[in-house]
Structure 1
Amino acid sequence: MTRYTRLHIPGGTYFFTVRLQDRGSSLLLDKLDLLRSSVRSCMAHRPFEIDTAVILPDHLHMIWRLPPGDTDYSARWRQIKSTFSRHVDRPDYVSPGQLARGEKGIWQRRFWEHCIQDDADLALHRAYALMAPVRAGLVTDPRHWPASSIHRDGDACLSRSSEPMALS
């Protein structure tokens, strides 16, 4: 069994990439309100702040700040994924391994995380997240992507230091 080593810094700030199992799916945009509701539900039970969020058709990027003394981002993602998955139909194909584990086959099992080290690292990861729709060829300007936290602070999102944002 593979062992994943994750860095757990109490009250840390983390960048995440979370993907759907079907890389050609548009489920996250099709069910954007459900995703937002799933995140809000998690935040009500396990508080955290969302600094940056960009939702693409088949994956998302978020930067979270956890409360002081808290390191459990994995439980939060588990809750978000589970809540979302309970309210969508099972895909046409689910691997036998996923079925054996009782998974619905919506999400990739893992997620990618990076612990933000300093303001420069935060600015780099904010810009990476906010520019994702441009890199994916979905828009030519990140301000044109509707499922992005860039709309909260406009261009300031690309350059500001560590001011947290709430999910809108």
Structure 2
Amino acid sequence: MSNYRRYYVPGGTWFFTVNLQNRQSDLLTRHIDKLRAALSFVKSRRPFLIDAWVILPDHMHCIWTLPENDSDYSSRWRDIKKTFTRTLAQRDVWQPRFWEHTLRNEEDYRRHMDYIYINPVKHGYVSRVSDWPWSTFHRDVREGIYPADWAGNIEEFDAGERR
């Protein structure tokens, strides 16, 4: 068994990838309202900032920043997974773990933001980032962080993604 080590930084910012057990499933988008409700429920009890998020049928990527003096993202993920799973009539919904990366600087942050937003295009779900409905990209366009026609460079984001 692998020896997993998590890096906990109070008030830190992390990039996460969370996968369904069945990578051919569409549970996350088919039950988007239940996923949003689970997220809201957990976030109301254990606040954190959602810097970016994209939800695909079988996995999701996001960036969170936790409150000062708080580094417990693992409990939040456990609670989101459990709360969502309870709303479904099935078991073994999630892969047991998640992948996390502590963001080190502005360049690291920017590259992971871009990776999140280009992901639906990379997987062939849409041809334009703005066409994917389950993404905070739309919020970031409204706030002037990204232009509506932002396309990114797919080749730049191929490294590290597991299907």
**Alignment TM class, shorter chain as reference:** 0.7 to 0.9
Question: Percent of counterpart pairs with the same letter?
Answer: 47
Q: Which runs of 4+ in 1 moved over 3 A?
A: none
1:94: which partner in 2? Answer: none
Q: Alpha carbon RMSD of aligned pairs, Å?
A: 1.4
Q: Relative to structure 2, which stretch is displaced further, 147-156 or 35-44?
A: 147-156
TM-superposed deviation, 1:2: 3.4
Q: Deviations over 1:96-134 (max 9, x none)?
A: xxxxxxxx2100000000001111111000000000000
Question: Between Structure 1 and Structure 2, how many residues are aligned?
Answer: 146
2:134: which partner in 1? Answer: 147
Question: Residue 57 in 1 paired to residue 57 in 2?
Answer: yes
1:68: which partner in 2? Answer: 68
Higher relative contact order by CA 8 Å / sep ≥ 6: 1 or 2? 1
Alignment equivalent of 2:105, drawn from 106, 118, 134:
118
- 3-state SS of 2:69 partner: coil
Normalised by the size of structure 1, how large is the TM-score? 0.84
Q: Separation in 2 of the partners of 1:73 and 1:62?
A: 12
Q: Which runs of 5+ in 2 are unaligned?
A: 151-163
Contact 1:126 1:157 in 2 (8 A): no
Normalised by the size of structure 2, how large is the TM-score? 0.86
TM-superposed deviation, 1:24: 0.3
Question: Residue 5 in 1 paired to residue 5 in 2?
Answer: yes
2:153: which partner in 1? Answer: none
Q: Which amino acid aligns with 2:35?
A: L
